[in-house]
Structure 1
């Protein structure tokens, strides 16, 4: 029994001696080894501009599947932030707060590319024009007939409004030569035309109103040339590898049923590779 007790004491003494010398070394090793850091999140900004009638909660629900998909593909959190405020969109782009942004407000996106270092990742597939609509029984027959008339437009900074004013300018019609009214929401704008409080109105060709207008008896008096569609941009703070991975992920959405469901949810047919040139050309035209 004494032998066993002595052996136990010797064993404990050896363990204590080893800990005395090993503990500082293990501590130093732990301090010198950097802890694993999860990749930082990316902030994805969404702006459908003033044409959207959806609430913040509805917008968040609409784009959550896209943000979740990007999180999985990029292997890092993608945080979603939706906004209808163009002032907020301008502020967040100027301050490079958004890492990624999908917006329908083409002139603001183009300005972010020109002035704020944002890079074009992909473009949504689709056609975008500005339509001047009138009632079926309207006496207006040509763009020149708009001079002196009551014209309904979306909010002043909306892309459709900027395009409509540029079209009128090129036709030789200045803002002081027409009576302009601004509406929040294209449904209200079209209702004004339908009820004859407005003689014409400008709407986006992608809107439900535009798609239903002629079917319901209205006319498109004048249509702009095809314009660049909704872009996805990346901040100058986002590295090339992340931009390329984002591009690959978005282009691949149309290759799977799950991806097709995400595209249908956000209202685009898919994404395609494009260049900044047409966006910058439109911005130059609008700013003439």
Structure 2
């Protein structure tokens, strides 16, 4: 009887112990999924010739133009924070809906590559994209630039390399040994420009910096520098001034240490597979938007003066 009791206790202990271990493992695994291991280092992707920039060519199916039953899809790449994008562009989408007499849906993707794929596969109609995503992302012969935004009277923008303001950092060389934030591999101002600058100045970022990271939108890069998470970052000048004016922390805790040459502003494009009549109609709506009182008010809230005819030679 005594031996049976001992055996029962041992078996019960094993079962309870195994259950606790299983519970711990489940909880641990769930937690582990949310942990970012900063000790896992990966090589930076090469500029221009990245495998991520190669897309399969697919046959594009023309869309039915100006069909009220069709949903017109507007895509926005990750320039500002996701919530800011959706909120800011809802009135713009409504304006398009009324002008086109068809439903308009906003589609937002985290990366420029995701938006590029939607364009190439003819799954969206209109997109606000990055200059780098157009020039380096395989879109030149697959989409049409129908308009460009005019911001503060200009159709150009820059890359700003910024640093944490309370620091003693004055020049890019002072960032050595620190943490540097890129936006994403297809970003002109957030990756292409700084990588070329580093190369021209004999800097290998994988060695020069203690750590580099991708934030996947300019606003998060700016906030990372303001919070001291990153010592420096390369960001879009338009987004920088937007966040600079909106957030006190950005004004107090970031500074510009380098300005790039001027680049052609990020364009508005439509798929090459879109019907020409629809493309011409959308282009007319955009170019005339600043002449409409309601349209002008919507553009003002977006920080845009209006839309203009693009100089395509600037995007080669």
TM-score by length of 1: 0.69
Alpha-carbon distance in 2 for matches of 1:265, 1:196: 30
Partner of 1:178: 208
Alpha-carbon shift at residue 78 of structure 1 (Å): 4.6
- Could you tell me which runs of 5 or more consecutive residues in structure 2 were left unpaired when the two chains were aligned: 1-65
**Shift in alpha-carbon separation, 1:38–1:251, aligned structure 2, 3 A:** closer
- Which deviates more, 81-90 or 146-155? 146-155
Deviation at 1:222, TM superposition (A): 0.4
Give 1:257's aligned residue: 293
Alignment of structure 1 residues 98-177 onto 2, 5 Å: 98-103=124-129, 105-110=130-135, 111=137, 113-115=139-141, 117-126=142-151, 127-162=156-191, 163-177=193-207
Match of 1:47 in 2: 76
Contact 1:152 1:183 in 2 (8 A): yes
Distance 1:65 1:59, change over 3 A: same
The farther-off stretch of 134-143 and 84-93 is 134-143
Pair 1:235 & 2:271 matched = yes
Aligned length: 238
Q: 1:270: how far off?
A: 1.1
Deviations 1:159-198, CA, capped at 9 Å, x for gaps: 4322322222233322323321333554554454345453
The answer to whether the 8 A contact 2:77-2:115 is kept is no
Matched, 1:201 2:233: yes
2:312 to 276, 279, 288: 276
C-alpha distance 240-156 of structure 1, shift in aligned 2 (>3 A): closer
How far does the alpha carbon of each residue in 1:122-176 deviate from its partner, in whole angstroms, 9 at most, with x for none?
Answer: 0011242211112345444333444544322234444432232222223332232
Give the superposed CA RMSD.
Answer: 3.0
C-alpha distance 73-192 of structure 1, shift in aligned 2 (>3 A): closer
The residue that corresponds to 1:92 in the other structure is 118
Q: CA deviation at 1:271?
A: 0.6
Residue 230 of structure 1 and its aligned partner are, at CA, apart by 2.6
| C-alpha separation in 2, matches of 1:59 and 1:150 | 27
Partner of 2:300, secondary structure, is helix
CA separation of 1:279/1:40 partners in 2, compared to 1, >3 Å: closer, same or farther?
A: farther
Q: Deviations over 1:72-115 (max 9, x none)?
A: 434x4152232132243132122122222223x22223335414
TM-score for both structures, normalised by structure 2: 0.64
**CA 1:193 to 1:249, structure 2 compared with 1: closer, same or farther past 3 Å?**
closer
Q: 1:279 to 1:178 in 2, by over 3 A?
A: farther
* Max Rg structure: 1
Q: Which digits, 9 at most, give the CA deviation of each residue in 1:227-274, with x for residues without a partner?
A: 222311122222333322222211111112211122134332211111
Q: 1:153–1:183: 8 Å Cα contact kept in structure 2?
A: yes
- For 2:308 and 2:186, the matched residues in 1 are separated by 27
Contact 1:151 1:198 in 2 (8 A): yes
CA distance in 2, matches of 1:194, 1:71: 38
Q: Mark the CA change 1:84 to 1:99 in structure 2 (over 3 Å): closer, same or farther.
A: closer
Partner of 1:66: 92
